[in-house]
Amino acid sequence: MAKPTSLSFLSATLFLFLSLSASLAAPASDSSVYDTFLQCLTQHTNSSSQLSKLVFSRTNPSFPTVLQNYIRNARFNTTSTPKPSIIVTPQQESHVQGTVLCAKSIGIQLKIRSGGHDYEGISYISNEPFIILDLFNFRSITVDIEKEVALVQAGATLGEVYYRIWEKSKVHGFPAGVCPTVGVGGHFSGGGYGNMLRKYGLSIDNVIDAQIVDVKGRILNRESMGEDLFWAIRGGGGASFGVILSYTIKLVPVPEIVTVFRVEKTLDQNATDLVVQWQQVAPTIDDRLFMRLLIQPVSSKVVKGTKTIRASVVAFFLGGADEVVSILKKEFPLLGLKKENCTEVSWIESVLWWDDDKSLKNGVKPESLLDRNLNSAGFLKRKSDYVQKPISKDGLEWIWKKMIELGKTGFVFNPYGGKMSEISSDATPFPHRAGNLFKIQYSVNWDDPSASAAQNFTNQAKRLYSYMTPFVSKNPRNAFLNYRDLDIGINTFGENSFEEGEVYGNKYFNGNFERLVKIKTAVDPENFFRNEQSIPVAKA
């Protein structure tokens, strides 16, 4: 009878072994992740603050609020959206260092959120167990007007940056985005552009130093990280390489008076001819002038019950109204700009106007730039393209027809030229310089929270993107990293990770992708810092 006993023993042992293996392979429960992480963080942190108040488990009553405050796309604020096991809200550098080391030791993915404006939500969602490192407390801004520089922490918003500059000087500014609630960390590390890009280039073209926590938990600045890594985090996306703590930026001069205007035309007012001429003028005109062009399908006021296309030129000029009217009378006659269309304002007032062109009439003050508008997201989808040859009038008329058929998706055309054409394509990871007339943003917003609405509107954007294929850049079809779009490729980090990364990497970075891969492989060889579109490590 010894044999059956022996078999029973072996079976029991095998069962125990398999059970133990399964438990080790299975992701730990959220509560055990919290306990293990907090214990680890305590060991790694020289902190006087109570760490338990900075680390939120799912059972914490404040967890939903902390999570939702910086979700900027309501598509990713549903009950079915994957949630982090914990959220860490550091208040000092050692908390960030400890978070990196502890997430690594636990073996859990780390997502880094500065302002939450990633269009696809990849700073706060994942399909594998993850924690969020939320940098909203890292919002210090130190402006030194004498040296014309500012030290800006990654969790500060653009509105806060502009306000703090304005507090110190009425004749300094910084070239970055027009949405005040965007976080510095993601905006700068992905390129950062705004309405001064034709005069001063991108945000990254005016970054002179940075601080990053690397995979070993070290705090590095430009000198200690070296020029390769410093190059990579100015346009290559910081989250592939570490946790950006701060950027040091070079301020730029702005006149005491700048001019803004908005002129709208519909198809019955020769909008198509206007767009034809805009393509010739906007990328080549005086580099102090930025003329964004919005193209939207709208209800016709001429033929009731039908739709038309409205073209809106929204502009910013580093100078006075008389001068810009004179320039445009000569170079862009179809716009028909008159002085009464223009508003002369200070630079900080132009920031308010670009956020909401009714703001100044409504008496909005610069202090409103300090309002983070928490938990206020709408539903949206964005995509991007680059145009390198003007689109013909026939081409535009065909596009208008398709836009009207689709119903709601619009375009934002952002002109390049000026300073953008003077900077080489490999000066930073951002490669879209000379040869690009304008960048297209595909834009659709909606209010209906249903899954069918999301499907409908995201499909609209995809179809319009497909229709635009003949008119945009090719081989590769270029895209802008900060207009995050998972439709162009996702990395699953399996055996084909490098090949998957090449698909979106070549579109975002063109010939700079290979250098980014080399740097990534050198600084984070085990690919700890990763997301759905991060830079992969080189093939073994």
Amino acid at 126: S
Count of beta carbons in the 10 Å neighbourhood of residue 439: 22
Q: Collect all residues with Cβ–Cβ distance below 8 Å to 223 and sequence separation of at least 6.
A: none
| Local structure of 211: helix, strand or coil | strand
Report phi then psi at 488, rounded to 5: -90, 5
Count of beta carbons in the 10 Å neighbourhood of residue 108: 21
| Nearest by Cα to 257 from 331, 332, 185, 343 | 343
Residues 26, 32, 36, CA angle at the centre, nearest 5°?
110
Residues 445, 397, 394, CA angle at the centre, nearest 5°?
145
d(CA 497, CA 380): 28
Q: Collect all residues with Cβ–Cβ distance below 8 Å to 304 and sequence separation of at least 6.
A: none
Q: Is 483 a catalytic residue?
A: yes
**Structure tokens, 472:** 């945009």
Radius of gyration of the chain (CA): 25
Q: Would you say 316 and 288 are in contact if contact means Cβ atoms under 8 Å apart? A: no
Report phi then psi at 41, rounded to 5: -65, -40
Helix (H) or strand (E) holding 472: none
Count of beta carbons in the 10 Å neighbourhood of residue 510: 18
Residues 513, 516, 517, CA angle at the centre, nearest 5°?
90
Count of helices and strands (H, E) across the chain: 17, 18
The Cβ-side half-sphere exposure at 129, using a 13 Å CA radius, reads 18
Amino acid at 224: S
Q: Would you say 199 and 418 are in contact if contact means Cβ atoms under 8 Å apart? A: yes
d(CA 287, CA 482): 23
Q: Collect all residues with Cβ–Cβ distance below 8 Å to 277 and sequence separation of at least 6.
A: 332, 333, 334, 335
Locate all alpha helices (DSSP H) within 384-496, ordered by sequence: 393-406, 419-422, 451-467
- Choosing from 70, 193, 465, 483, which is the catalytic residue? 483
d(CA 93, CA 71): 24
407: left (phi over 0), alpha (psi -120 to 50) or beta: left
Tell me which residues are annotated as active site. Answer: 483
